[in-house]
Amino acid sequence: MAVKIQNIRVICTAPEGINLVVVKVETDEPGLYGLGCATFAYRHLAVKLVVEEYLKPLLIGRCAEDIEDLWQLMHQNGYWRNGPVENNAISGVDMALWDIKGKMANMPVYQLFGGKCREGIPVYRHADGRDLNELCENIQRFREMGITAIRCQCGGYGGESFGQTPPWAPVGAKPGVYLDSRKYIRDTVKLFEGIRSRLGEEIQLVHDVHERIAPGEAVKLAKELEPFDLLFLEDPVSIEQTGWLRRLREQSMTPIAEGELFNNPREWKTLITERLIDFIRVHISQIGGITPARKLQIFAEQFGVRTAWHGPGDMSPLAHAANIHIDLAAPNFGVQEWSGIEPPNFVIQELKGPHGALLEVFPGLPEFKDGYVYANDKPGLGVDLNEKEAEKYPCENVVTTWTQTRRRDGALQTP
């Protein structure tokens, strides 16, 4: 007897102040349900509406076992495809269906992908600092936790803090984060020179450009960072300007990771087949969940491109678990970004009180230990949702402001 979808619910919760969206798919088999991540933190109500008003009526009564068919059905239902709101909504259902499939098989999801290629997932963390001293102190703190790869930034993604308009901006300049790209490039090169001379060659270094400079400047930065042997330079160009990666490849050996903003397969196909990137790092819910992410991972493997899935704070533990399950079974896994689950300097197992809110809402989230993350061996994704706890942390509906980066002259730049 096929298991049928009986109900679909959306639960929004913000245990750490970030709006998380969870989709719960309930079946006609008592106690059998699945959970998925549909988090688009800055548009959470839009995603909720798509799931409740469009996907739920489309899916109720259908067979919960037909993941591929249901994914295609959701993907094609609105006729226009591949938007971030729609993809996140689909992802919530898709991950929940994989969770159900694992529970039905009585296996963790990575077993359905062929089993483990590795026991633990090496992760990289984010270190920041106001200057080289503070940054190096924070890097050391992570190294003491067993982390061997670290993303290094000075003052976030560069530029003045929001609301602090620098004296060199035009009179009447609008609010935003002002970034002088030439200064940023000079400072970043100096920063990596300083990190290498203080901390040596062993540590693996990452830097995130966050699309904040012009494509030609990104080519220059990649070239100038070459002596410091980065694990990768992240999102050097915007998704609209990936054609510049050919130029970058001609000029620099610095490995490139790109793609946390990708929504559409057209955005990554050429980058992979022409080997213009070393690491593909999509945000799994932004491309529609586990089903398309597994296809992308296998496609990338054929061309020697490794995975480095996006793993920020603005995704739920269910999405972190989805990353980890794919990583465990992927021969072309590269490294996993791990952030936002616990505050810096806290190891997950030690979390208590308010810091442990995320763990109370989402019991079973993958565990970090000595540089590696481990999935638990429960059936499905292994992460549950405590709805009573989730209710304690309602989402706030506000318009975000951090996405207003401005160039020297005050014009907007991708954030």
Residues that bind Mg ion (CB under 5 A): 208, 260
Question: Which tokens hold the place of 210?
Answer: 């966050």
Do 90 and 285 form a contact (C-beta atoms < 8 A)? no
Active-site hit among 110, 124, 157, 184? 157
Ranges of H-type helices in 231-312: 245-251, 269-273, 290-302
Q: Which is nearer to Mg ion, 66 or 240 (CB)?
A: 240
Strands (E), 136-258: 149-154, 177-178, 204-208, 232-234, 256-258
Q: Min. distance of Cβ 309 from Mg ion in angstroms?
A: 11
87 closest CA partner among 51, 115, 117, 119:
51
Q: How far is the CB of 234 from Mg ion (least distance, A)?
A: 5
Rounded to a whole number of angstroms, the minimum distance from the CB of residue 354 to Mg ion is 27
CB of 259 to Mg ion, least distance (A): 9
User: CA 383 to CA 362: how far, in whole Å?
Assistant: 6
3-class SS of residue 330? coil
Q: CB neighbours of 372 closer than 8 A, spacing ≥ 6?
A: 119, 120, 121, 122, 123, 146
- Contact between 246 and 276 under an 8 Å Cβ cutoff? The reply is yes
Task: List the catalytic residue out of 126, 207, 210, 320.
Answer: 210
Nearer to Mg ion, 217 or 314 (CB): 314
Find all residues with CB under 8 Å of 137, minimum gap 6, and list them. Answer: 129
Question: What is the distance between the alpha carbons of residues 40 and 337, in angstroms, rounded to a whole number?
Answer: 18
CB of 331 to Mg ion, least distance (A): 24
How far apart, in Å, are the Cα atoms of 378 and each of 32, 89, 103, 107, 268? 14, 25, 8, 7, 33
The smaller minimum CB distance to Mg ion, of residues 25 and 276, is found at 276
**DSSP H/E element including 379:** none
Nearer of residues 156 and 175 to Mg ion, judged by Cβ: 156
For Mg ion, the closer of residues 27 and 39 by Cβ is 39
Identify the CA nearest to 70 among candidates 330, 387, 290: 290
Please confirm, yes or no, whether 283 is among the known catalytic residues.
no
DSSP-based three-state secondary structure for 86: helix
Least separation in angstroms between residue 337's CB and Mg ion is: 8
Instruction: Considering the complex, state which of residue 165 and residue 285 has its C-beta at the smaller distance from Mg ion.
Output: 285
Is 157 designated active site?
yes
**C-beta nearest to Mg ion: residue:** 208
Instruction: Catalogue the active-site residues.
Output: 157, 210
